[in-house]
A and B are shown apart, each in its own frame.
Chain A
């Protein structure tokens, strides 16, 4: 009797991944495909964008930076969301796979944030005349970078794995509240209460390019970055799960 809807079955199947053995098996099967797809999409997106797109009338060839900046920024936020969800699931259900996925996602997210900041600054230099501008978006990303750094540092500083998982999860949740608050505060800080018309470089570029030939390589690049994120996430989570098993074995050996 096939009465359960597909979405419920997908949901149940997804939660099967909470079992470390199931996760390792599933991720091991999919990883080669993911690596291949990542190379395909990322490569084609960046190559197309770098070599085969025309210059922008206002921004010249710097518009090519969009193929790095926008996907990296999206992944930076994505990494953060994963950290948040993974921490939440750990605190509620105490499933190691989710919190270790959060732990594995953090360095990826942090690198993406760094890329977004660097490309944003380099892009800004010819446009605004200075490497760094305290505009709301860049500033929010800087704060996000600090959150990632703190989360990773806390994981590294605590010896007991489960205690580390608990405390970093609490940090992630409380930090999220403040992150939301910071976003609003930074907007307020740069423009007063009224949202002025800050011409954000990437937004401006996105608006004029959304309908023409720039968009396709951008889409490929975004997909590529997304696939890269998932690939690294799976590799990292597998490493963490193995490391955990290794610790258990080592403790057992020492006790014998």
Chain B
């Protein structure tokens, strides 16, 4: 399982692997916001928590179909299925690799981008923490969605349609954490709830995804 994990990371980081794309996308979204909403500092600071969370979420969405898609197309997924490694572990390894190459960089870069939107330091820290806790959930949920749309040609849009409603609770708590922090209020409750979502996802999604993978590889 570790080998699969390292292999996926290697694949992502190599050129053509799309490693920096999520970060660039995140940057572009954040840069576009002031153009759309006007440069008023106060207005930007007001929407910054939500916009930053939303940008990270959408950036995560971009690379989801790569998680299984490439291996499915060239047959490596069938090989993995016939190996002694259970499909649930395949799912976890791949979701973890996705998080490390997409979610984690986004979480670390977010406070820097927050500066562009006039986000306070405290809110920036809350943003970082909430994303660190929440992006695992996003990777797990996204990977689950990817197992459902595996065999569908050009299923990227359908994947987004399926995954976005599932992202709603994480987004709500994440953005709320940052908003509370920017108002100087305690933000521990939303953070705990995000952690709960991530843990819950680890608990149930491997089984659902394993089942979906098995169904698709029949």
Cβ of A167 and Cβ of B161 under 8 Å apart?
no
Cβ of B164 and Cβ of A189 under 8 Å apart?
no
- The one of B152, B193, B205 that contacts A158, using a Cβ cutoff of 8 Å: B152
A166 contacts B by Cβ under 8 Å? yes
Cβ of B164 and Cβ of A177 under 8 Å apart?
no
Cβ of A146 and Cβ of B164 under 8 Å apart?
yes
A145 CB, min distance to chain B CBs, angstroms: 9
B112 CB, min distance to chain A CBs, angstroms: 27
Inside 8 A of A167's CB, which chain B residues have their CB? 148, 212, 215-216
Contact bitstring A95-118, B, C-beta under 8 A = 1, else 0: 000000000000000000000000
Q: How many residues of A contact B (CB 8 A)?
A: 27
A164 CB, min distance to chain B CBs, angstroms: 10
Q: How far is the CA of A163 from the CA of B212 in the complex (A)?
A: 9
The residue on B at minimum CB distance from A91 is: B211
With A149-B161, A167-B148 already in contact, the answer to whether A185 and B168 are too (CB < 8 A) is: yes
Q: How large is the interface on B (under 10, 10 to 19, 20 to 34, 35 or more residues)?
A: 20 to 34
Interface segment among B62-70, B113-121, B169-177: the answer is B169-177
The residue on A at minimum CB distance from B168 is: A182
Cβ of B165 and Cβ of A150 under 8 Å apart?
yes
A186 contacts B by Cβ under 8 Å? yes
Cβ of B212 and Cβ of A173 under 8 Å apart?
no
B199 contacts A by Cβ under 8 Å? no
Q: How far is the CA of A189 from the CA of B53 in the complex (A)?
A: 15
With A158-B151, A171-B148, A185-B168 already in contact, the answer to whether A153 and B158 are too (CB < 8 A) is: yes
Cβ of A143 and Cβ of B165 under 8 Å apart?
yes
Inside 8 A of A147's CB, which chain B residues have their CB? 165
Cβ of A154 and Cβ of B208 under 8 Å apart?
no
Q: Which of B104-159 contact A (CB under 8 A)?
A: 144, 148-149, 151-152, 155, 158
- The one of A149, A154, A170, A193 that contacts B189, using a Cβ cutoff of 8 Å: A193
Q: How far is the CA of A240 from the CA of B168 in the complex (A)?
A: 32
The residue on B at minimum CB distance from A186 is: B172
A109 CB, min distance to chain B CBs, angstroms: 15
Chain A residues within CB distance 8 Å of chain B: 143, 146-147, 149-150, 153-154, 157-158, 163, 166-167, 170-171, 173-175, 177-178, 181-182, 184-186, 188-189, 193
Q: Can you give 27 A-B contacts (C-beta < 8 A)?
A: A143-B168, A147-B165, A150-B161, A150-B162, A153-B161, A157-B149, A157-B155, A163-B216, A166-B211, A166-B212, A170-B211, A170-B215, A173-B208, A174-B205, A174-B208, A175-B165, A177-B200, A178-B166, A178-B169, A181-B197, A182-B165, A182-B169, A185-B172, A186-B172, A188-B176, A189-B172, A189-B176
